Amino acid sequence: MTTSSLWSVSGGPRQGLGLMRLRDPEPGSAPDPDRDPVGLVHAALDQGVTMLDTAEMYGNEALVGRAIAGRRDEVVLCSKFGVVWGTSGRFDDWSVHADAATVVRSCEASLRRLGVDVIDLYYLHHRCEQTPIEETVTAMAGLVEAGKIQAIGLSNVRIDDVRRAHAVHPVTALQEQWSLAANAAEGFLPMLAELGIALVAHSPLSHGQLTGKDAPSGVREALMGPAVRLGATPEQVALAWVHHQQSRHAQPIVPLPGATSIRHLRANIAAASIELTDSELNKLDDIAAV
């Protein structure tokens, strides 16, 4: 599967859905239709959000599999491998395993949990210091040849990693964070355009950091002006700014916001249609460059 068959500047998914926080309700908790995980996924599909993104690290692939059962042909299914939790329970206790045997074993396990025969886009979740990326991607290319995955993606890597990987097998997508608070992904764009690789912009709202009490100085103020004009929320304006980067750079860029409620999902979907003025975009650019 080539980049053009998944995304193009004029077509393809406008926005994906990050499923990192998708969880079954706590046992004994009161039913909440707005936060039902299967209902959330179905609401996304019903409104045209087809790219669903999970990972073995998230521990929810079986839930994702249940959610897409019966609707598999509507989904661009993405998962990631390589990051393994430690035993301490701390959020910073993890390591990366990306040797050839792990690639194959992780993919087989993900396919079982997801209940599918093929993963559309399979990412290396994080660069690995111990294993050359050529070994990792060679094993991933074997999965493509075997029909286990359709396309290869990379996440949390360096520019030279992408070039080395692409020399082994075409890379379809790079997933990196891009938001008003984290714009390092922009540095990849010239190389991605050269190689024909799409950018999937994860965490476009920076996990709530843009509009919370600890938001960077000036960010909320810069977002409020367009929000008032449009009758939108500051969060929607921040997400719209990321959406605008596709047309501004004339290459495939797909924002990947997460959501744990249908209400939040619908707000994110609406943000994809927000039109910001050049003046508003420039003011937000100034904030992003700080």
Task: Say which amino acid occupies 127.
Answer: R
The Cα–Cα gap between 76 and 92 comes to 30
58 is catalytic: yes
* 8 Å CB contact between 233 and 227: yes
Place of tokens 């000036």: 218
Give 234's Cβ-side CA count (13 Å radius).
17
- Tell me the sheet residues that pair with 95: 84
* 8 Å CB contact between 80 and 124: yes
The Cα–Cα gap between 173 and 127 comes to 15
Catalytic residue among 58, 81, 122, 188: 58
Catalytic residue ranges: 58
